[in-house]
Structure 1
Amino acid sequence: MKNVTTYKNKKVLVLGLALSGVNAAKLLHKLGALVTVNDYKSFEDNTEAQELLEDGMRVVTGGHPVELLDEDFEFVVKNPGIMYNNPIVAKAMEKGIPVLTEVQLAYEVAQCPIVGITGTNGKTTTTTMIADLLNSKQQRGKAYVAGNIGTPASLVVQDVADEDAIIMELSSFQLLGTTTFKPHIAVITNIYSAHLDYHGTREEYVAAKMQITKNQTEEDYLVVNWDQPELRELALASKATVIPFSRQEMVENGVFLSGETIYYLNEPIMNKKDILVPGEHNLENAMAAIAVAKLMGQETPVIKEVLASFAGVKHRTQFVRDYKGRKFYNDSKATNTLATINALNGFTQPVILVAGGLDRGNDFDDLVPHLKQVKGLIVYGETAAKLTQAGEEAGVPSIVTVQNVEAAVPVAYDMSEEGDVVLLSPACASWNQYRSFEVRGDAFIDAIEQLIANIEEGE
């Protein structure tokens, strides 16, 4: 970790705790800042605030009093989830106080190269692929995963060495709070409309994503999805060396698909069918990861070996089990129709689809054309009736309503035959029945194991 003096003896307000806030506060404290921590949760129920108080930091809990800003703070470091229209954040910006996220802090003290990955979809899978590719058969150094993927960057940077690398998943929320942040390699997987409740407009959302390349120079690299015309246009504004990846055309200076073979520059890397995780979206994720791995010096045989065995990130078209010829996949992270469409398009086999969850008021008309290979649809939750209607319109032969994901698994097995895929891809958020998509996905996996145990016990 670099010994920076930017924050030494400076008054810094850390706004919002959770993992990123706690670790930002600890890093600032280590850098000699005079840290005040402010969290909405009451002190009695706030173990993070209690811990930071014991570490010698000032703690204010139970709300976000705007009056705090009368104390002449020089910086505010906010939790990415706190919106910019929050009164205390808005007041700080009005007073000209820099409002940062912990990603900016991490960058300032990092002493190894950073690979930053952003985009609307595919960030976590691409981040994980890159780390696996760089860590396989490496003789020196380690690739550490950090950021939006779950481990705060401000924690990871404290332990890395010069020969290491940080593979950082970055949300638009995190990038919006950066000033000098500059990854050596930036990756933009794709751009669609998202988080407009936070950013206000699509233009603001896209601008936040483009923060990833704002400070890059020609010595840095921008790996970008060339199949999106908007990203081609946006890449023109970057000073970095652009490395395109494309499924649709041969690109001279990047990764492309020709026939069934993936190439980097003019070097054949692997057959696309050898990539274990299904779907065109995962092909794009793999192409982005290949570009980074080659830029970082990884050998082609290692790239092919890793991607041929990469089973996916948990809850993201994750391969779970092959039992009696049925392949079970957990795609609980699919909380919208686009994600479910991507998952379905990854299979050529007949699919038993398990879908449902929270009703956000949308219909499922866009899902209908993609249900053609679905032989059985099992629906649950608040959206069961809407999904049933979509299935009937698509001509799905068998549609069953069940109470929840756990009840869907044995029904799906009974519907299926050898060679079929059983896919949980809900197209809905989980919150009406499950605390998170992770809890929902774990329930699906547990139900599969219970099903197998019951079948084998009865044989």
Structure 2
Amino acid sequence: MKKIVKYKNKKVLVMGLAKSGKAAARLLRKLGAHVVINDRQPLPENSDAKEMVAEGFEVVVGGHPLELLDQNFDFIVKNPGIPYLKVPLLMEALKRQIPVLTEVQLAYDVSEAPFIGITATNGKTTTTTLIYEMLKEGQLNPLIAGNIGEVASLVAEGASQDQVLVTELSSFQLMGIDSFKPQISLLLNITEAHLDYHSDIEEYRQAKLNLIANQTSDQYCVYNADDEVIVKGITQTAATCVPFSLYREVEGAYLSNGSIYFKGEKIIDVDAILLKGEHNLQDVLGAVAVSKLYGCDTASIQRVLMRFSGVRHRLQYVATIAGVDYYNNSKATNVIATQTALNAFDDSIILLAGGLDRQHDLSGLIPYFPKIKMLISFGQTKERFKQLADEYSLPCVAVDTLEEAMDAAVKVAREKDHVLLSPACASWDQYPNFETRGDHFIDLVEKLKNKNL
């Protein structure tokens, strides 16, 4: 860990606990700061606050009182999830020009290792994981942190110069940086999102572009040349910009005649890549460009792409049983996410869909019905799916549970079919979260696999 004086003898308010807040407070204390912790949850039910009190921290709970600012803080380090525009204390702090940071900035300040920073509206978890796996395969000592894996500042504390932090970064985190600059940045895509947090779309876009704002000419910015917002945004960086494109040859990574290339070198045929879907090819292109720029050899990249089955619950390949492929896309909790999954296949889909009924419009699935061999609906929305399928003469079976849906799928599935769990609904009618639902599906597939051995 670097020995820095930025926070020494400074008064720092840490807003919000959980893992990142606790890590930030402890690190700031090591750096010589005078730390006050503030969390809105009252003490009786706040185990994190009790833990920090026991460690000797000053902790203020039960809200975010304005009078805290009377302590004349030099910095505020806030949990990324706390919105600026809904907390009067933060709004007043900004008026007083008190720097408001997130713990990602702390991680950068103390890290001896360089950073690779990845941001996007969609696909950043898959791409971050791909880059990490490629660099690991190439024996380049990566660590994974940020929005995925361990808290960034915890990882950074123990990182050495011969390692690299591969970090997934959200707009929430990137609004709270001042000097953070990754050795390689990756801008995958920027579309409309999180407008309940940001004041408008421009603020959201700029938060994403903060990733590249401090980079210098000896650093790289890998960017999506097919995204107009990003192409316009890269004018804000001094970094060496390297594009990738799904649709044309560029001086970076691109798709041509069914193969992935990087600067003219063929990397791999698309057919050899285990990940399905055009949206995942965008992730692959970004990951290939970053990995090659960091010095990863092509053979290592190829090996990862031929075995990487996707991030758990995100169009994750689970198994092939009797010639039938099983995919877990439990994270698809809305129609748009299921549309993306259906786009990944040409035909022969047995779709398992259903869950909590939030009265969402399901008609967005109709254009994809020609690809679907059978729809098997379950949960609260089972009858809504069945009614829609019947209207368009799509074979459909409505059952109560995912287990019954799996049984129904096995009965009709034949070689070269794809059984796809992509519910288009939240899980809360039967499961606490989409992860538990996806894990149940994986267990059911594993049981079927063992039965067929």
TM-score (norm 2): 0.94
Deviating more after overlay: 52-61 vs 278-287: 52-61
Contact 1:263–1:270 under 8 Å retained in 2:
yes
Specify the alignment match of 1:133 in structure 2: 134
- SS state of the match for residue 198, structure 1? coil
**Who is 1:208 aligned against?**
207
The 3-state SS of whatever aligns with 2:196 is helix
Residues 235-264 of structure 1, C-alpha deviations (whole Å, 9 max, x = no match): 23322211111110011x201111012110
Q: Which moved more, 1:360-369 or 1:417-426?
A: 360-369
Q: Deviation of residue 357 (structure 1)?
A: 3.1
CA contact (8 A) 2:14 2:35 kept: yes
Equivalent position of 1:4 in the other structure: 4
Q: 1:77 to 1:343 in 2, by over 3 A?
A: same
Change (3 A) 1:161 1:319: same
The one-letter code of the counterpart of 2:62 is G
**How far is 1:390 from its partner?**
4.7
How far apart, CA to CA, are the structure 1 residues paired with 2:75 and 2:218? Answer: 30
Partners of 1:365 and 1:204 lie apart in 2 by: 32
Q: In the TM superposition, what are the counterparts of 1:201-350 in structure 2 within 5 Å?
A: 201-251=200-250, 253-350=251-348
Aligned to 1:153: 152
CA distance in 1, matches of 2:383, 2:93: 47
The reply to whether residue 441 of structure 1 matches residue 441 of structure 2 is no
Say if 2:369 and 2:394, in contact at 8 Å, map to a contact too.
no
Q: Report which stretch shifted further, 350-359 or 269-278.
A: 350-359
Correspondence for 2:111: 110
CA contact (8 A) 2:382 2:400 kept: no
User: CA offsets per residue over residues 25-44 of structure 1, 9 Å max, x none?
Assistant: 11111111111112222323
User: Per the alignment, in what secondary structure is the counterpart of residue 122 of structure 2?
Assistant: coil
Aligned position for 1:121 = 122
The percent identity for this pair of structures is: 48
Matched, 1:419 2:416: yes
Cα 1:229/1:96, change in 2 over 3 Å: closer
Q: Does 1:72 align with 2:69?
A: no
- In the alignment, the residues of structure 2 paired with residue 359 and residue 97 of structure 1 have an alpha-carbon distance, to the nearest angstrom, of 45
Aligned length: 452
Q: How does 1:370-385 map to 2 (within 5 A)?
A: 370-385=368-383
| Contact 1:349–1:419 (8 Å) recurs in 2 | no
**Any idea what the Cα deviations from partners look like across 1:312-356, whole Å, max 9, x if unmatched?**
111111111222222111111223333222221212341111223
Deviation at 1:360, TM superposition (A): 4.6
Q: 2:399 aligns with which of 393, 402, 409?
A: 402
CA pair 224-23 structure 1, distance change in 2 beyond 3 A: same
The amino acid that maps onto 2:352 is V
TM-score where L is the length of structure 1: 0.93
Q: 1:431 to 1:81 in 2, by over 3 A?
A: farther
Q: Which amino acid aligns with 2:226?
A: D
For 1:361 and 1:135, locate their aligned partners in 2 and report how far apart those are by CA, in whole Å.
Answer: 44
Match for 1:2: what amino acid? K
Partner of 2:286, secondary structure, is: helix
Cα root mean square deviation, aligned: 2.0
Question: Is residue 94 from structure 1 mapped to residue 92 from structure 2 by the alignment?
Answer: no
Deviation readout 1:204-260 (Å, 9 max, x if unpaired): 211111111111122211111112233222223322211111110011x20111101
Matches within 5 A, 1:186-197: 186-197=185-196
Q: What's the counterpart of residue 57 of structure 2?
A: 57
AA of the residue aligned to 2:326: F
Deviations, residues 404-431 of structure 1 (Å, cap 9, x unaligned): 4333222222232222111111223334
Structure 1 distance, partners of 2:208, 2:93, is 23
The structural deviation recorded for 1:358 is: 3.8
Moved more, 54-63 or 189-198: 54-63
Cα distance in 2, alignment partners of residues 177 and 401 from structure 1: 48
Displacement, 1:190? 1.2
The answer to whether the 8 Å contact 2:347/2:370 transfers is no
Cα distance in 2 for residues equivalent to 1:45 and 1:188: 40
Assess if the C-alpha contact under 8 Å between 1:363 and 1:386 holds in 2: no
Name the CA distance, whole Å, in 1 between partners of 2:437 and 2:90.
Answer: 34
Per-residue CA deviations over 1:425-448 (Å, capped at 9, x if unaligned) read 122333444322212211222233
In structure 2, relative to structure 1, the CA distance for the partners of 1:77 and 1:385 (3 Å cut) is: farther
The CA distance in 2 between the partners of 1:68 and 1:338, in whole Å, is 43
Cα separation, 1, equivalents of 2:398 and 2:373: 15
Deviation at 1:63, TM superposition (A): 2.6
Q: 2 CA distance for matches of 1:201 and 1:370?
A: 33
Report the Cα offset of residue 396 of structure 1: 5.9
Structure 1 residues 207 and 362, CA gap change in structure 2 (3 angstroms): farther
The amino acid across from 1:405 in the alignment is L
CA pair 43-376 structure 1, distance change in 2 beyond 3 A: same
Q: Report if aligned partners of 1:276, 1:311 keep a CA contact under 8 Å in 2.
A: yes
Residue aligning to 1:30: 30
Displacement, 1:401? 2.6
Structure 2: give runs of 5+ residues left out of the alignment. Answer: none
In 2 relative to 1, CA 26–405 (structure 1 residues): closer, same or farther, beyond 3 Å? farther
2:181 alignment counterpart: 182
Counterpart Cα distance in 1 of 2:126 and 2:68: 40
Once residues 390 and 109 of structure 1 are traced to their aligned partners in structure 2, the CA distance between those partners, rounded to angstroms, is: 56
Please, which moves more after superposition, 113-122 or 216-225?
Answer: 216-225
In structure 2, distance between residues paired with 1:368 and 1:55? 57
Find the aligned partners of 2:67 and 2:378 in 1 and give their Cα distance: 48
Paired amino acid for 1:279:
G
Cα drift, residue 54 of structure 1? 2.4
Deviates more, 1:20-29 or 1:34-43: 34-43
The amino acid across from 1:402 in the alignment is V
| CA–CA separation in structure 1 for the residues paired with 2:383 and 2:225 | 39
Cα distance in 1 between the residues matched to 2:174 and 2:258:
36
Rounded to whole Å, the distance in 2 between the matches of 1:112 and 1:228 is: 30
Distance change (3 Å), C-alpha of 1:241 and 1:376? same
Do residues 355 (structure 1) and 353 (structure 2) align?
yes
Question: Do the aligned residues in 1 keep the contact of 2:138 with 2:296 (CA within 8 Å)?
Answer: no
